[in-house]
Amino acid sequence: MYKTFFARLASRAPDARPKGEGQQHSNSSESFLPQPCHYLPIDKSKQEIRLLQLNPGSGLDPVSCELRVAKLQDDPVYVALSYVWGDETLKRRITMNGTGLEITENLEIALRYCRHKNQKRVLWVDALCINQTDRLEKGHQVGIMGQIYAKADLTYLWLGESADDSDFAMDLLSRLQPDYFKHSTGEEDVRAWRAIPLLLTRPWWSRLWVVQEAFLSRRAVVKCGEKEAGIERFVLVKEFYDGSKRRWRGPSGDGKRAPTNVLSSQHVAIFPFAMCLLFWSILKRGITEGGTDLWVWICLTYPFCCTEPKDKIYALLGLSRIEDQDRIATDYTISENELLKKVTAHALRQHGLVVLQIRPQSPASENPDLPSWVTDWISPLRTTSTLNSLVDNNTVNYADGNQDSRQITWEKIGIVPFPKHDKFYFHISDDLDVLTVTGFVFDVVDFSGPTPYVKPHDGMSYAMDLRVQKERVNVTRRACKEWETHFRNHRYNPYFDKDGHYEAFWRTLIANRLSDVEGPPPERFFISFGLWMGHSYTKRISRTGNDYSYAKGVVTECLNHAFITTKLGYCGLALRSTLPGDLVCVFLGGRVPFILRPIGLDHYKFIGEAYVHGIVQGEAVRRAQPGDARDFTIR
């Protein structure tokens, strides 16, 4: 019942965005600022903060308030406000400490909806409670912002005023239960269900600071106009929509997957908070158990927006472990490049070379002043490419060999590895400019094929999503056919025979893995490959089964990546910046092959990870010869 309902709902979803979104800004914007005369000094050593005492009022009554100083250790009673600063060209006037002050329209509206009619209310609001002109104070207050939200009795997550049937959506969310579809077809709430995707495209969901504000709060309540609903209700609705992550028992009790038409994976780029909702329980538990690794948060939140680039890191520190906060202190006086070097070096020392597998593809990734091995998480990101999961529980072997064979194989070429795989084999210079790794060159890239690319879309409509998905499939299939022609005509075949050559290609297109198959896909998927390439015209690809699973895997792995071949005839996938002449290398301690580009005679540029079929389980190490090992100096 629920499956039919969602399918019908998606097919008639409105093609519109919320009205009045305006420009988005992070907490650290300095576009409009209260003047210093409004502020009494605070004592950092006593963990003092300022609180906003909001005077009562209703309707069009002017907003007035006063600031007072409080100590966090005294457990003051207050409500924290999480919001988007809004379009700085749209301002309204309030009175603070008896003096007129211009603030953004969105904040003024939020204060109106948060105030009581007959009594004062105490709030903490970043733009007003922090002296934004004092960089030292701002750095300190940002550093304890996690504590501020954690100690608040309540946090309002302000989405904006009512619009686009948001009242219907909020009413539904406020009463939503896990067994909703056991007792309802959803038809009576169709207007609300249609409004929910629009509610999820409000600017609040894409601002990075809100992640900390939502996760650390004792009680987080989403507020839209006069309507309210706990954040847990949004977690539930995400689970309803995302049937690929969770099964739900419908009225028939068949346990079929919930449909994914309305909120598909294609919307993650424009609805960044979706992944946070999906893993809400896991992430909340990690916070209560001492914090989640900073690098994990950085990877998870890459699509979010910040006006102050450094906040792409600083906004996550309150969610992270103590050791992360000790290593990466909030400091707005250092350069962006210095911060990025510190973050990447810290992540490498914590996790090893797996950190190098995550490379966001953006124009800024070519920052000439940034070492090539340092990941740029600060610049605007278009896509983040990784051919291998951060943790792949099905992977027993590694590109540098499994634990049983590593000692013997690496000793053969002149390197004595540590007995355990979790030891790290690299050195970072004191100035954080140079990374030196141990390994060997396996082969040289002789072809880097055209990269299938589709510009990310900026809409939530089902029709738009269908068009983009179709374009992704068509662009990827065209590229695959060009790649196949080149690979078929390569002069060398290291895969033994024609069948091995054929198998290497179809497995490479999916990096030899599928999300719904444990371990390497079985050989029967070569039939799905033939259908994908158009070799078979007996049927069309259905929305289920092996054929769909393979086609989805190809698009996932190949989009935004280049197909490569090597001089010895090996094939693989690599970042689209890979060029002929680049080196395919295996590093001691690396799970995957990596691409390096020689620069002069003494150092290399790091390009990124690669999947090269036939060497991802230690085969390259076993074939290496004495004297092949070397140190690579990467700048």
Residue 13 has pLDDT above 90, yes or no: no
In this prediction, residue 48 carries a pLDDT of: 96
Cβ contact 80:147 at 8 Å = no
Residue range 398-411: average pLDDT? 62
Residue 24 has pLDDT above 60, yes or no: no
**Mean pLDDT of all residues belonging to the chain:** 81
Residue 363 has pLDDT above 80, yes or no: no
Least confident of 116-130, 214-228, 412-426, 496-510: 412-426
Confidence of residue 149 (pLDDT cuts 50, 70, 90): very high
Most confident of 96-100, 416-420, 620-624: 96-100
Terminal-to-terminal C-alpha distance of the chain: 58
Handedness of CA 221, 226, 301, 135 (dihedral sign): negative
Confidence of residue 348 (pLDDT cuts 50, 70, 90): very high
In this prediction, residue 37 carries a pLDDT of: 56
Confidence of residue 403 (pLDDT cuts 50, 70, 90): low
Residue 21 has pLDDT above 70, yes or no: no
Q: How far is CA 233 from the centre of its chain?
A: 22
Q: Record the tokens describing residue 634, joined without a space.
A: 């990467």
Residue range 606-630: average pLDDT? 88
Tell me the backbone φ, ψ of residue 545, rounded to 5 degrees: 85, -175
Relative orientation angle of helices 462-488 and 545-558, to the nearest 10 degrees: 80
Residue 110 has pLDDT above 80, yes or no: yes
Residue range 19-40: average pLDDT? 49
pTM of the model: 0.81
Residue 74 has pLDDT above 90, yes or no: yes
Confidence of residue 583 (pLDDT cuts 50, 70, 90): very high
Residue 146 has pLDDT above 60, yes or no: yes
Q: Say which residue the tokens 């990690």 belong to.
A: 286
Least confident of 6-10, 324-328, 458-462: 6-10
In this prediction, residue 42 carries a pLDDT of: 92
Q: Distance between CA 250 and CA 179 in Å, rounded?
A: 8
What is the secondary structure of 212-232 as a DSSP string? HHHHH-SSEEEEETTEEEEHH
Confidence of residue 185 (pLDDT cuts 50, 70, 90): low
Which pairing describes strands 220-224 and 227-230: parallel, antiparallel, or unpaired? antiparallel
Q: Say which residue the tokens 């197909």 belong to.
A: 563
Residue range 323-327: average pLDDT? 92
Q: Distance between CA 306 and CA 404 in Å, rounded?
A: 46
Residue range 260-285: average pLDDT? 64
DSSP state of 74: G
pLDDT tens per residue across span 513-565: 887 777 888 888 888 898 898 875 445 555 556 788 898 899 989 988 999 99
pLDDT tens per residue across span 210-225: 999 999 999 999 999 9
Confidence of residue 8 (pLDDT cuts 50, 70, 90): very low
Residue range 389-395: average pLDDT? 39
Q: Distance between CA 294 and CA 344 in Å, rounded?
A: 11
In this prediction, residue 483 carries a pLDDT of: 96
Tell me the backbone φ, ψ of residue 333, rounded to 5 degrees: -90, -15
Q: Which of 97, 34, 88 is nearest to 64 (CA)?
A: 97
pLDDT tens per residue across span 151-163: 999 999 999 999 9
Q: Distance between CA 570 and CA 614 in Å, rounded?
A: 8
In this prediction, residue 63 carries a pLDDT of: 96
In this prediction, residue 241 carries a pLDDT of: 66
In this prediction, residue 18 carries a pLDDT of: 35
Residue 299 has pLDDT above 80, yes or no: yes
Most confident of 63-77, 79-93, 267-281: 63-77
Confidence of residue 383 (pLDDT cuts 50, 70, 90): low
Least confident of 160-169, 278-287, 358-367: 358-367
In this prediction, residue 258 carries a pLDDT of: 35
Most confident of 174-178, 484-488, 525-529: 484-488
Q: Is 621 left (phi over 0), alpha (psi -120 to 50) or beta?
A: alpha
In this prediction, residue 487 carries a pLDDT of: 96
In this prediction, residue 160 carries a pLDDT of: 96
In this prediction, residue 443 carries a pLDDT of: 97
Cβ contact 111:63 at 8 Å = yes
In this prediction, residue 626 carries a pLDDT of: 83
